[in-house]
Amino acid sequence: MDGGILEPSLYCIKALAILDNDGNRLMAKYYDETFPTAKEQKVFEKNLFNKTHRANAEIIMFEGLTCVYKSNVDLFFYVIGSTQENELILASVLNALYDAVSQILRKNVEKRALLENLDAVFLAVDEICDGGIVLEADSTAIVHKVAIRNDDIPLGEQTVAQQLSRKLEVFQSAKEQLKWSLLK
């Protein structure tokens, strides 16, 4: 075997991060010990942001890592892998992350909306990657796994069918309670 060729690995993601337009962390998950402390992670994120926030590229080699990124309004999405990692895999993870967040935020991809739905975004990140292994890269499947409940959707945004279904459930429950109270 040639000593220069590395064995393939499932552990292709080193980190996922979402930063605001000032380079501050909104969400980040690190999957290895490249940056073991929070202080080192924040320094890396700040340097990465400073290098990418004005660039028009989508990929950068930075501090010995391959970073793919995308920005929208006031958010920057990053997927970080090793220098040997296939950029297409990293890009597909980035697109899955961005598209899933976009669907969760109902196409309103901005800082305020992200912070209001941070729990769902963290769940989506956990569905995409676990311990550096890519689990899912289909944004629709990710959003379905996160499964935002109808109760969380404001009444005005629910469909008539959803409202009728909920009313039917309440009616059936009341009917069962009444039946059991009469049988006592």
Q: How many CB atoms lie within 10 A of CB 71?
A: 18
pLDDT tens profile 9-55: 788 999 999 999 999 999 999 999 889 999 999 999 999 999 998 88
Is the pLDDT assigned to residue 5 strictly greater than 80? Answer: no
Tokens of 3: 């000593």
pTM of the full structure = 0.75
First to last CA, the chain: 79
Q: Which CATH number fits domain 15-148: 3.30.450.60, 3.30.43.10, 3.40.50.10190, 1.10.150.120?
A: 3.30.450.60
Phi, psi of 30, rounded to the nearest 5 degrees: -110, 135
Q: Identify the pLDDT of residue 1.
A: 46
- Cα 99 from Cα 109, distance rounded (Å): 10
Cβ contacts of residue 132 below 8 Å, gap of 6+? 10, 11, 12, 13, 14, 31, 32
